[in-house]
Structure 1
Amino acid sequence: MNTFPDRTPTRRRVLPAGENGSLWEARPSCGIVEFRGTRLRLMVENPSEVLFPTDCGLSLLSALDGDGTPVLEGVNALDIGAGSGLYSAALLAAGADRVTALDINPASAAQTSANVTANGLDASRLTCVTSPLEEYRPRERFDLVITNPPHLPYDPSYARTDGLETALVARRGGRAVYDAVVDRVDELLAPGGSLLMAHSSLADVPRTVAELTGRGYEAETLEVFEMDIPLLAYAEHRETLQLRLKELRAQGRAEFDGSRFTVHALLFRRPGAQRA
């Protein structure tokens, strides 16, 4: 099956500052989004434990919702960093055969299951796993891996131990989960399978692309979104966070302009036989 049709040049979508123009119809704890003809209602019961999906994460679904996008029907998919279950629910609604929702945060499993069930989707096709990606050992490889990794640089001044930090902040200059995905993707993705990634410009997009294409993966940018850096959750430590980001930019590891950055909806295909 050819999941890489010919495409027009990469589109760039500029999202207005603030809530006006958000990809969600409502927020911050409940939102409605339409994906491939199905309206999905996502909620988070405790926003201090599980992050309500942001425009950063939603941008990948937006890029996948249209003509000439990858086939999702019948795939066996892995959702890395499942959070509230946005991608898991969307994939099941789009016809995925099975979805494994992986997250280090124990609260993610219950919230993902609740959102899948609340949208009338078949929960028997969903498996939730609580584990760090580095320790996860699947029994099989997947047709599709999808992820929106945390992308803000770590600093001890705003370090937290709840689900909010694991969803937004990562060590190694915000690249810890990106690096783990790149390191593990050959073990997780079947030959001919696809990796879909919402990649923040704050975490060195060129590095990820170079590392995967250097290993033979075909890379494609589906769409680029410009939006606000999510500073609201770190208002008390805004200056520290901005300092960390400026340091990364000086090292050539982050791209942003003022409080605006971009999210790249990336598609990588592993070489090998196509899924039947």
Structure 2
Amino acid sequence: MTHAPTRTLPRRRTLPAGQSGSLWQSRPSCGIFEFRGMRLQLAVEDPAEVLFPTDCGLSLIAALNGDDAPDLNGVNALDIGAGSGLYSVALLAAGAKRVTALDINPASAAQTVANVLTNGLDATRLTCVTSPVEDYAPHGTFDLVITNPPHLPHDPGYARGDGLETALVAKEGGRAMYDAVVERMDTLLAPGGILLMAHSSLADIPRTVAQLTGRGYETHTLEIVEMDIPLLTYAEHKDTMLGLLKERRAAGRADFDGSRFTVHALMFRRPLASAGR
């Protein structure tokens, strides 16, 4: 008798309710995090212009500390939605050969460079680009792409014109950046390359998985982290935002319980040969 291979369930971590920054040792504008045996520091000068990373973004860093995480040494990596440089700093510290930090927010570049230098890392291995992912045209492809897309649904009532908006809120019901990343992946990621994504359950995880597995990408969940929906920043518009999320949940496009949701640390590997589209 042939037995099917045993599938191990992804690690699950539950952050305490009602607490902010549970994965950080300090915050909100300066934090310390542990990554692969290194103690790294991250800061932002103006949290309204460049968002200090939330637990949603940091959950992917935590997942990459696991035994099943990919080797980062020597990779040529693209950090989509770099923000303050959380992933760029971590990748360079872990031995990435080159990192390109891409963000639509012009303030991101200076903050990312500052954080790279603060940690004593080689800034000559870093390239910062200000551009929407849809318009970005690199010279060649990347071994690894990493991203934590904005995942909250857009509404004119709480729309803002600053870096906080671009980091947290996305059109298309919170799916705009996810769809843009998926659409560009075959041109950005080298065959056999890896996409690492912090994917919010508020933004239709099954859709992203189906889109990429349909192209032959292998999918693996490194870790699932349960946490509070980041409503404090939008306290005046909490009811509006929750109303939009409930509409998406009723349509099967969001998953949350009360004010709690999950972030899935997903790893996709592009096939060596294209499956066709």
Give the TM-score of the pair, scaled to structure 1: 0.95
Q: 1:240, 1:203 → 2: CA distance?
A: 17
Segments of 4+ moved more than 4 angstroms:
none
- Alpha-carbon shift at residue 9 of structure 1 (Å): 2.1
Q: 1:29, 1:68 → 2: CA distance?
A: 31
- Alpha-carbon shift at residue 8 of structure 1 (Å): 3.5
- Alpha-carbon shift at residue 21 of structure 1 (Å): 7.2
Instruction: Tell me how large the CA RMSD over aligned residues is.
Output: 1.2
Match of 1:187 in 2: 187
Q: Give the conservation status (yes or no) of the 8 Å contact 1:89–1:116.
A: yes
Q: Give the conservation status (yes or no) of the 8 Å contact 1:199–1:264.
A: yes
Per-residue Cα deviation, 1:210-242 (whole angstroms, up to 9, x for no partner): 010001000000110000000001011111001
- Alpha-carbon shift at residue 11 of structure 1 (Å): 1.3
Match of 1:221 in 2: 221
Match of 1:71 in 2: 71
The answer to whether 1:14 aligns with 2:19 is no
The one-letter amino acid of 1:127's match is: T
SS class of match (1:40): strand
Q: Which stretch of structure 1 is more off in the superposition, 242-251 or 21-30?
A: 21-30
Summarize the Cα distance change of 1:165–1:21 in structure 2 as closer, same or farther, 3 Å threshold.
closer
Match of 1:255 in 2: 255
Identity percentage of aligned residues? 77
Q: Return 5+ residue gaps in structure 1 as ranges.
A: 1-5
Give the TM-score of the pair, scaled to structure 2: 0.95
Alignment of 1:72-87 (within 5 A): 72-87=72-87
Q: Return 5+ residue gaps in structure 2 as ranges.
A: 1-5
The one-letter amino acid of 2:186's match is: D
Q: 2:7, 2:96 → 1: CA distance?
A: 23
Q: 2:241, 2:78 → 1: CA distance?
A: 31
The one-letter amino acid of 2:269's match is: R
SS class of match (1:99): strand
Q: 1:124, 1:144 → 2: CA distance?
A: 19
Q: 2:137, 2:114 → 1: CA distance?
A: 25
Matched residue pairs, number?
A: 268
The answer to whether 1:57 aligns with 2:46 is no
Per-residue Cα deviation, 1:152-211 (whole angstroms, up to 9, x for no partner): 000000011100000000000000000000000000000000000000000000000001
Q: 1:173, 1:109 → 2: CA distance?
A: 27
The answer to whether 1:104 aligns with 2:89 is no
SS class of match (1:254): coil
Match of 2:3 in 1: none
- Alpha-carbon shift at residue 120 of structure 1 (Å): 0.2
